Amino acid sequence: MVTVIIALGALFILQYLYSKKTSRRLKRALNMEKRRAAFFQRKIALLEALAFTDALTGIPNRTAFHEKVERYVKGQENRSPDHKTIVAYVDIDHFKMVNDIFGHDVGDVVLKEVANRISSVFQRELDSVYRYGGEEFIIMANIRPEDASNLCALVSEAISCAPIMDRGVAHEVTVSIGYAFIDEGDDHIRQRVVDCIENADIALYNAKKAGRNCYIAYDPTFSEVA
């Protein structure tokens, strides 16, 4: 009888030790999986940030603009009935000449500083600045239509108020701006956004035709970009 009790006691102890060891293994495995999941989440967040950020200037890129614009318009239409969403193209005047004469390194300096100066105009979370491609930037903001020309004037002045310096050389930089408003409506947001982008591009084309270093609102009488 004593032998049986001892045997059962030994069995109980062995089971206890085994279950404790197994529990520790399970905890280690769970902790490892948690760390692995956190690692992949950080990687995904980093990849998303890279996908939506312009590598040179550090501001959101073209992909980020198209990802955000429809949700942005829908949210602002529900919030500010007396405001409208403006989309403005900002194009650096004679930028090709900067690259051709001074080289692409200087062109990169100009692009980064222009991005900084445009961004400095916009302090509200609602406003966004994007590098759309090459020497072209896009501004998206929710404003009263009568304030549009003042906004564009601020952007133009922020860029041209002082030369951009690089290795002791001063580069005078100006921009041309064409802007349009997204039409109001209850549906077809995507098409309204596409139309607005096209209209802003047409306005930019006419700003360049007018001699550059100016800002122009879209007008239905404008000829389309060739």
What pLDDT shows up at residue 101?
94
Beta bridge partners of 84: 143
Q: Residue 195 — pLDDT band, cuts 50, 70, 90?
A: very high
Residue 154: predicted pLDDT: 96
Q: Which of these is catalytic: 48, 70, 135, 172?
A: 135
135 annotated active-site? yes
Write out pLDDT tens, residues 24-50: 676 676 666 666 655 556 545 555 555
Asked if 218 and 203 count as a contact pair (C-beta separation under 8 A), the reply is: yes
pTM metric for this prediction: 0.78
Choice between 110 and 182, residue whose per-residue pLDDT is larger: 110
pLDDT of 116 over the 70 cut: yes
Question: 67 CB contacts (<8 Å, ≥6 apart)?
Answer: 52
pLDDT of 129 higher than 80: yes
Helix (H, G, I), strand (E, B) or coil at 204: helix
Cα distance between residue 211 and residue 177, in whole Å: 12
Dihedrals φ, ψ of 115, to 5°?
A: -60, -45
Quote the pLDDT of residue 206: 96
Q: Which one, of 144, 151, 114, 143, lies nearest residue 126 by Cα?
A: 143
Q: Mean pLDDT over residues 165-182, rounded? A: 96
pLDDT of residue 48: 58
User: What percentage of the chain reaches a pLDDT higher than 90?
Assistant: 57
- Least Cα distance to 199 among 184, 185, 217 occurs for 217
